[in-house]
C-alpha cells in the first residue's frame, strides 16, 4: 500500500470542503492517507513553499511530489469510491482534457480567490492596526 499525503489549502473554503470529503472517504475505507493543510505545515522538506502549494493540489506518494491534475488521480486511486473516476479520467484523451481544465481553469481561479482573501485579510489588519 502506497504512503500518500495530500497537501491542500485549508484557507480556501472550496478546497477545504472538498478535502473534508476525501478525508471522510479515506477514513471510512481505512486508507492511510494523510492530509496536510499548507498553512499549518513547513513544506520546505518537500521542496514546496506555501505560495507554490496554494497554486494547485499536491500529493506526496512514496516520497514523490505530484502536482496538479495527476495529484487528483493519485488521490482518487487510493479511495475505493473514486477509483473508477481515476481510471476513467486517467485515460489518455480524457487525462489531457481534464488536466488542461484543472491547470488552466480551476486551479488559477482558486488561486486568484486565495490571493484575494489574503489581500482582504491584510487590508483589514492594516485598517485595524
**What's the pLDDT tens digit per position in 74-126?**
999 999 999 999 999 999 999 999 999 999 999 999 999 989 988 887 777 77
Residue 9, phi then psi, degrees to nearest 5: -95, 95
Segment holding 120, helix H or strand E: helix 107-128
pLDDT tens digits, 40-70: 888 888 889 888 999 999 999 988 999 999 9
Q: Is 4 helix (H, G, I), strand (E, B) or coil?
A: strand
Compute the chain's Rg from CA coordinates.
16
Higher pLDDT, 21 or 12: 21
Grid cell at residue 46: 518537500
| Ranges of each domain in the chain | 4-128
- Contact present, 76 and 86 (Cβ < 8 Å): yes
- Contact present, 73 and 90 (Cβ < 8 Å): yes
- Mean pLDDT, the chain, integer: 92
Report the pLDDT value the prediction gives residue 120, as an integer from 0 to 100: 86
Amino acid at each position: 500500500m502506497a504512503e500518500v499525503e495530500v497537501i491542500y489549502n485549508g484557507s480556501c473554503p472550496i478546497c477545504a470542503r472538498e478535502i473534508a470529503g476525501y478525508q471522510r472517504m479515506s477514513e471510512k475505507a481505512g486508507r492511510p492517507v494523510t492530509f496536510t493543510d499548507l498553512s499549518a505545515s513547513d513544506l520546505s522538506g518537500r521542496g514546496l513553499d506555501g505560495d507554490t502549494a496554494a497554486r494547485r493540489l499536491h500529493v506526496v506518494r512514496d516520497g514523490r511530489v505530484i502536482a496538479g491534475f495527476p495529484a487528483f488521480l493519485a488521490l482518487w486511486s487510493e479511495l475505493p469510491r473514486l477509483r473508477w473516476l481515476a481510471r476513467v479520467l486517467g485515460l489518455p484523451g480524457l487525462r489531457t482534457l481534464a488536466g488542461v481544465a484543472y491547470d488552466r481553469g480551476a486551479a488559477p481561479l482558486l488561486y486568484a480567490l486565495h490571493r484575494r482573501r489574503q489581500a482582504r485579510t491584510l487590508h483589514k489588519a492594516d485598517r485595524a492596526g
